[in-house]
Amino acid sequence: MNVAGSTPTGTVHDVQVSHDQGDAGDRLDLLVARHCGVSRTQAATLIATGQVTVNGAVEKASYRGVAGDRLHVVIPPPPGRDIVPEQIPLDIVYEDDYLLVVNKAAGMVVHPAPGNWTGTLVNALIGRGEPLADSGSEERAGLVHRLDKDTSGLLIVAKTDAAHRSLSAALAARRVTRRYVALCWGHLATDRMTVEKPIGRDPRDRTKMTIVADGRPSRTDFVRLGRFDSADLLRAHLHSGRTHQIRVHLSSIGHPVVGDDSYGGGGGRRLVELPGKRHFLHAAWLRFRHPVTGVPVDLRSPLPDDLRHSLSVVSHMPELATHPDPLDVFGFYHTDEVLPGHQPDQHDDALD
């Protein structure tokens, strides 16, 4: 069990050592790393500086956990760091005085964090010199939602605080429609499938998510648009907003996203001619009502060149490599859903 919270002095984790999670007998530094999302070196530093107690007492990193032990871990906040404006070209597909929508390229990290202080979308946005909403920290300036580093597609950025509040509320109420296209290995049992499984942090690797009994409720609807020799082309509709939700849900049913190294789909790239460090997941369709005018905004992002080429290979349809938007060929945009605003239960708020 891991209960986390925040205080002015940092993030606090209260962890109980459990036989069920295989914790008993493990070293203290390993337990802290596993449950608190830090490296083992960082865990050892926290222990050495007195930020970790076991049943109220300070122990060494070599201490072996016993079932029932209660660990109290305080992770101090990282020191402040100025975000450097950078002149990085961005594909802006929509912009006005209140918001903009970026067509993010695969490989770009969305916001600065340890290990990625430069070259991110936020660095590029600040480098444009335009005003951005206060999202709670300079590292997340203007961001309404996020996309994973290797997921491409449409992402909303707010320029004013009022627009940010309105768009964030719309996301929370599932009044923003975001549709992803994914290629998964193998074939779903039916043309339409719903995966409803709780998602939480992987206790063995805190950088990943997994299906856990005490995770947050998560539901994804999948529609098969194309069935090929080795893979299915899917449209994904999320009813919840969990990190890596599409990738985790597809992996959990034995059909991971093609190219997804983290969740079991990384092998076989050569079969579909997909570049390294790239998975076939793209935020292709975005619909919402403008936070100020209420006017419907409907934006589409055709498949990037690398995914378009891969789709032409796996489908044995070479003409798709030069098609303006192969998703049209497979009916990706054909749906009976109404524009968000009147039936929020039909619309999603989700991360990749």
Cα–Cα distance measured from residue 305 to residue 301, given in angstroms and rounded to the nearest whole number: 12
Three-class SS of residue 248? helix
Q: Report the 10 Å Cβ neighbour count for 99.
A: 24
Report helix, strand or coil for 139.
helix
Question: What is the CB neighbour count within 10 angstroms for residue 256?
Answer: 25
Question: Which residue is catalytic, options 29, 148, 150, 260?
Answer: 148
Q: Is the distance from CB of 159 to CB of 142 less than 8 angstroms?
A: yes
Instruction: Locate 117 and state its tokens.
Output: 């202080």
Rounded Cα gap, residues 293 and 123, in angstroms: 29
**Contact partners, residue 74, CB within 8 Å, separation at least 6:** 7, 9, 10, 11, 12, 46, 51, 52
Element (H, E) at 236: strand 231-238
Contact 285, 350 (CB under 8 A): no
Q: How far apart are CA 61 and CA 44, in angstroms?
A: 6
Q: How many CA atoms lie within 13 A of 231 on its CB side?
A: 25
Q: 3-state DSSP call for residue 324?
A: coil
- Asked about 134 being catalytic, the answer comes back as no
Looking at the annotation, which residues are catalytic? 148
